A and B are shown apart, each in its own frame.
Chain A
C-alpha cells in the first residue's frame, strides 16, 4: 500500500466515522433533562421569552429533523451559533483551538522526549533496580489524576520556588497572530522576551500532559525494545561485532519506534480531548474549557462543534501516524 492509498483509505472511512460520532453526540446531548432554551433565554427570563427562544432555536422540532438540518448546515460550512457566546461556533473554535494544539503538541513532544529514552533504558536494564523504579514511576504517573499532578507542579515551581508562572498563556499582550501559536508568533515577530514568556507559561501545563503521556510511551517503548532485543536480526548484528550503541540506537530503536509512534498518535488524540482539567487548572484558554462550559450550559451547537473539531484533529493525527510509520518502516510501502 502506498502513501496515496493510505490517505484515500483514511478519507473513505473518515466521513462515516464522523457522521456516526456526530449522531451519537447529538442524541446524548439531548438525553440530558435540561432545557437549553431556559439557559439561552437568561436567568431572569419570562415564560414567553423562553418559549420564543425555543421556537427561534428550533429545539421543539423532532430530533431527526433537527439532526438533518444540522448536517445540512455543516455541509455548507456553518456550525451554527453558540447560544451562550452568541458567536458563530466556527469562530469560537478558531479562537481556542490553537491554544490547545500548542499545548498538546509541546506536551506530546515532551512525552516522547521523556518516554522514549527511559523506555529504552528500562528495557536494556531489564529487571535491574533502575527498571523496577522506572516501571513503578510509570504506573504511578498513569494512575494519578492529572489535576493532582498539575496542582503539585504549581505548588512546587510557582509557589515554593517561584520559577514559573502559576497560570495563563502569556504575561502580556500576545504577538500579532500569524499562526496563533504564541511561541511561533513571538519568534516570527523577533520578540525573544515574549517567546520566553510564552515558553515559561507552557512548561507546567505541558509537563502535566507529558508525565502520564511519557509514562505510557515509556512502557510501550520498553516492550517494543524487549521484543527487538530478542529478535534474530539483533542476534545476527551482535554476532557480527557491531558496537552495542549502533545496535541499540540504529536497529533496535528503529524497529521499536513503530509501536511508539502509534502510541504517540493516541496520546496526542487523548490529550486534545482530555485537556479539560489541565486547561482549567492552568487557566489555559483552549478548547477544553470551552467544551466543558458548553456541556454544562447545554449549548448543543457548541458541543457538536467541539466534537467535530476533536474528531477531525484525531483523524488527522492518526493519518500522520500512519504516514510516519511508513517512513520509519517502509517495508509495507509498494
Chain B
C-alpha cells in the first residue's frame, strides 16, 4: 500500500469516527430537561383561531389559554383565565370575571379587551371554532365594563356556550393589532408567531420542522413539582420513524400510532404506554336521505349485518370498547342499558323482507390510509352479500370524503368514519350527527325526524342538566331505534411516552397535549 493510499484510509477512518461519535439529540435533550414529541400532523400554522384539529392541539394547549379549560377524563371544566362566571336569568348574558394576575408572554396584563378582541377575531376569520359562535355572538356585542369583566350577550340562549368557552383562546390584542395588515386581523403574522399567555413561550418555529417552547415561569396558574422546561413538537410523518425514535429515546412521546405499533412499543424497555377510554366514536355513517337508505327496515337490516364482535376482536385485537350508540359510553346522554344492534343475519333478512322499495347496489366510501375504515368496509360488504345486498367500495382520501359529506346527493350510502370531540357535550355526537339543523355542516347522516328535532331544540335552550340528560337520552333512543347510523366502538387512547416522563394528564379535549402537568427525569 502506498503512503498516499494509507493517508487516504486514515482520513476516511477519522471522518467515520467523527461522524459516528458526535453527540446525539436525545442525550442533549435529557441534559436540558427537554420534552420532544413526535407529532404525526404538520404544524403549518400556529394561529389558535384558525387551526382547530386534534392533531395540532399542542399549539392551543401550550401556547395559549382560554377562559376555562377541560382537564382529565371524563373531562372537567375548570376556571382558567377567568375566575368565575354568572349567567343571567334569560340565559343570554354570560359574565366572566378575569384573574387579575394573568399576563401575556411579553408582560402585558390580560384584560377584558383582549378577550373581546379574541372572540371578534374568531368570528371575523370564520375558521376553526367560529361555527360555534357565528349565530350566537353578533360582532360588537361583547362588552367590557372594566378591565377584568367581560360580558357575552348571546343572540339566543344556548346550553352549549359554556362548553365551547375553552375554545375562545385569548390573544394579546395590542400586539396582534400592531401586526395587522390589510385588515387581516394579524392572520399572516399570527400564523408564524404567538401572542398568548400559555404555559410555554414560543422560542422557535419552522413550519417544515415544528416548534419549540420555553416554560413561562410567570404563568398565572403557577408551577408545581418538577415541570418540563423546554418542549419541542416536531413533525414526524412516518409511523416507523416515530416508533423507532421512541424506542431509541430520541422522542419522549408520539401520537397517531396504530395498535400493532403500540404492541411493538410495549416490548421496548424505554417506552411506557398510557391508556384511557377516549371520546371518539367509530361508526358506519349512513346517508338517510337516499332512496332505500330512507327505509328504516333497510337500515335495520344493515345494522344487523355488521359483525361488531368479530371486528373488535379480530381486527381491532380487543384494543377498543363496543359503543352501541351515537354518544361515547364515557359521557352522559345515553339511556341506561342501551344495547344497540348485534350481528344477526336472520334478523337482517327479516327486516329486509319488510322493505318496500326495490333493492339496489349500495355505495361504501372508506377512508384511504386508515386500515380500520377499509377493513370495516370489506367485512360489511361480505356480510351484506350473504343477505343479498350488493355493495361497491370506493376508497378515497379524507379530503374527498369531507367534500362528499357536504351534500346529501354526494355523500355515499355508507361511510366508515370517526366522530371526534369538538366540545364535551352529547350534542357533539347525537345532536350534530342527526339534527336537521346541522344538514350540510357536521351531520354525516342527513337524518330528519321532527320529533328528534323538537327534542334537540329544547336541549339546546334549557340549562337544566337533568332535563338535558333526559332529552339527549330520548334522542339517542330514537336514533338507535331508527338505525340512523351503525355505531361500532369508542376509541381507546394509547399514549406512548418515554419511561422518563410522568404526570401526563389526559383529557379527550387535549389528547394528552397539555404538557404543563408533566415531568421528565433529568
Contacts and interface: CB of A to CB of B under 8 A. Distances in A.
Interface of A: 32-36, 38-39, 41-50, 52-53, 82, 84-87, 92, 95-96, 99, 151, 154-155, 158-159, 161, 163-169, 171-173, 193, 196-197, 199-200, 203, 280-283, 285-286, 289-290, 293, 296-298
Contacts of B25: 165, 168, 171-172
B234 to A, nearest CB: 7
B329 to A, nearest CB: 23
A38 B399 contact: yes
Interface in B379-408: 396-400, 402-404, 406
Contacts of B191: 85-87
Interface stretch (B205-213, B332-340, B501-509): B205-213
A134 B402 CA distance: 50
Given A47-B441, A285-B208, A159 B403 contact: no
Given A44-B442, A171-B23, A297-B399, A50 B234 contact: no
B208 A290 contact: yes
A49 B127 contact: yes
Interface stretch (B40-48, B86-94, B155-163, B313-321): B40-48
Contact of A285 (B126, B209, B241, B442): B209
B480 interface: no
A285 B211 CA distance: 13
A232 to B, nearest CB: 34
A23 B364 CA distance: 33
Shortest 10 CB-CB contacts between residues of A and residues of B: A285-B208, A35-B403, A163-B20, A34-B399, A85-B44, A47-B440, A34-B400, A46-B131, A34-B403, A171-B25
A271 B397 CA distance: 26
B188 interface: yes
Interface of B: 18-20, 22-25, 28, 42, 44-45, 47, 50, 52-53, 126-132, 134, 187-188, 191-192, 204, 206-209, 234-238, 240-241, 244-245, 247-248, 250, 396-400, 402-404, 406, 422, 440-442
A200 B19 contact: yes
Given A35-B403, A167-B241, A200 B22 contact: yes
Contact of B22 (A42, A95, A161, A196): A196
B248 A159 contact: yes
A45 B400 contact: no
Contacts of A286: 208
Q: Which of B247, B397, B422 has the most CB of A within 10 A?
A: B397
Contacts of A155: 244
B204 A173 contact: yes
B207 A87 contact: yes
Given A38-B399, A281-B238, 5 more contacts: A36-B399, A166-B250, A197-B23, A283-B238, A296-B398
A42 to B, nearest CB: 5
A50 B440 CA distance: 10
Nearest to B441: A46
A196 to B, nearest CB: 5
Contacts of A197: 22-23
